[in-house]
Amino acid sequence: MLQNNKAVRDEKVIDFTLANSNNLLLIFTRNPEIGKGKRRLAATVGDQAAFDIYKFLLDHTVAITKNLYAEKEVYYSEEIWENDIWDNQKFGKKLQVGEDLGVRMANAFQQGFQNEYQKIIIIGSDMLDLSQEDLEEAFKSLEKNDFVVGPAEDGGYYLLGMKKFLPALFKNKTWGTETVLKDTLADLKNETTALLETRNDVDYYEDIKDIDDFAPFLKHIKL
């Protein structure tokens, strides 16, 4: 009996390059505690609102990553929480190690490559302007490039991915400032690099004041 091989491809079927267990997504997160984290935002909206907004952003990050065809590891800032929003069946859990962000990221990437992952991408956990499709696009861009960068509007980046480890990316940066992206791209000037769309992350009240999703958290603000 002849089989009909002219099956219509469903556009929603995940690209085989994504359904590859050699892809690793690193998610850096701060343990959510009131009065800690999002300090620049809290200066305007208050500790409780900043805490609630951060938890809202964490929920969004879970939603856009839980079904991604990649291994996923959550790196906690302070301590590993076993029973939280990150499902132990879908997310590996580790602790950030190092005296600054660069060292902590470098350690996470190096461990991933030592574990024989071929494409590794890192994101934070506080980007509303990010989707599962964006992450899929980032992994696919590493098919033809060794690096991928998602520029942030504030001069940093919201995503960094690579197929080979480049130590310079994690050194001589003033983390949390507007020079990080420029200095990172300078390190990549001789590398094949894909740039994603520029996106806005959430650090200040001005970043969220006109976005409807955040309106419920800002009802108390009178400026």
Full DSSP string of 24-56: EEEEEE----TTSS-HHHHHHH-HHHHHHHHHH
Highest mean pLDDT among 5-9, 171-175, 203-207: 171-175
3-state class (DSSP) for residue 59? helix
**What pLDDT digit, counting tens, does each position of 100-137 carry?**
999 999 999 999 999 999 999 999 998 999 999 999 99
Task: Return the pLDDT at 110.
Answer: 98
**What pLDDT digit, counting tens, does each position of 194-216 carry?**
999 999 888 877 888 887 888 88
What average pLDDT does range 22-28 have in this prediction?
97
Render the burial of 123-154: b for 16+ CB within 10 Å, e for the rest: bbbbbbbbeeebbbbbbbbbeebbbbbbbbeb
Distance CA 66, CA 60 (A): 10
Bridge partner residues of 40 (DSSP):
none
The answer, yes or no, to whether residue 223 has pLDDT greater than 80, is: no
- Could you tell me where the beta strands, DSSP code E, fall in the chain? 23-29, 71-76, 92-95, 119-123, 147-151, 157-162, 193-195
pTM confidence score: 0.88
The answer, yes or no, to whether residue 15 has pLDDT greater than 80, is: no
Instruction: Name the average pLDDT for the chain.
Output: 88
Give which of 86, 33, 38 is closest to 62, Cα–Cα. Answer: 86
The answer, yes or no, to whether residue 21 has pLDDT greater than 80, is: no
